[in-house]
Amino acid sequence: MTEARRGPRERMVFSAAQLIRRGGVAATGMREVAAHADAPRGSLQHYFPGGKEQLVNEAVEWAGRYAGKRVARFLAGLERPTPGGLFAAMAAQWTDEYAADGFAAGCPVAAATVDCAAAGDSTRQAAATAFATWRGPVAEALTDMGVPASRADSLATLMISTLEGAILMARAEQDVRPLTTAVQELAPLLDAAVRS
């Protein structure tokens, strides 16, 4: 869906995700979301009667769907898809972003989890759903590449958790080294899981 074709509700969900990935949930105000989305402030109440919590939850769930859909794009960009190549492509999305735009943003799902996991069950559940929505396509891709189905979900969990940790470290260190190191060390393990 292109930006021009998004309605105000979709723009606000997208904007919330973008603001959360930069400043976290606490720093993301409803007014800032409306301004970023170029949407009337009054529409927030209309589209999100559950207030900020509803908007945050929907932004987190959107981020999980987005990450899940990216898996197919990563695979399409690989000449010969391998589990290690998929993980490298997932990490390259972040190394490319950090090279172009600096280290200001991270994953909105991780940010919401850190900010809200202890405070609100609905946001914690939205984050869990987002991670599951992302993990499913990764596990399916691994199975399609020859990883036994009995290992695909656990390796998808390993890939996502390693990536999220490397993103946090890269932002803290202002260096992509944690991402490149994660690819260097994890890719051979992932490739070794393919049935011969």
Look up residue 175 and give its DSSP letter.
S
Largest CA distance in the chain: 59
pLDDT at position 61: 97
Q: Which amino acid is at 28?
A: T
Look up residue 3 and give its DSSP letter.
G
pLDDT at position 40: 85
pLDDT at position 86: 98
User: Residues in the chain, how many?
Assistant: 196
Handedness of CA 179, 180, 184, 185 (dihedral sign): negative
Answer yes or no: are the C-beta atoms of 108 and 25 closer than 8 Å: no
pLDDT at position 7: 86
pLDDT at position 116: 81
pLDDT at position 150: 97
SS3 content of the chain, % helix, strand, coil (to 5): 80, 0, 20
In Å, how far are 10, 16, 57, 130, 188 from 52, measured between CA atoms?
Answer: 15, 10, 8, 18, 43
Q: Show the beta-strand stretches assigned E in 92-140.
A: none
In Å, how far are 94, 100, 183 from 158, measured between CA atoms?
Answer: 17, 27, 12
pLDDT at position 117: 67
What distance in Å separates the CA atoms of residue 55 and residue 49, rounded to the nearest whole number? 9
Residues of the chain with pLDDT under 70: 1-4, 117-120, 196
What distance in Å separates the CA atoms of residue 179 and residue 97, rounded to the nearest whole number? 12
Answer yes or no: are the C-beta atoms of 68 and 133 closer than 8 Å: yes
pLDDT at position 3: 47
pLDDT at position 119: 66
Indicate the burial class of 144 (C-beta count within 10 angstroms; 0-12, 13-18, 19 or more): exposed
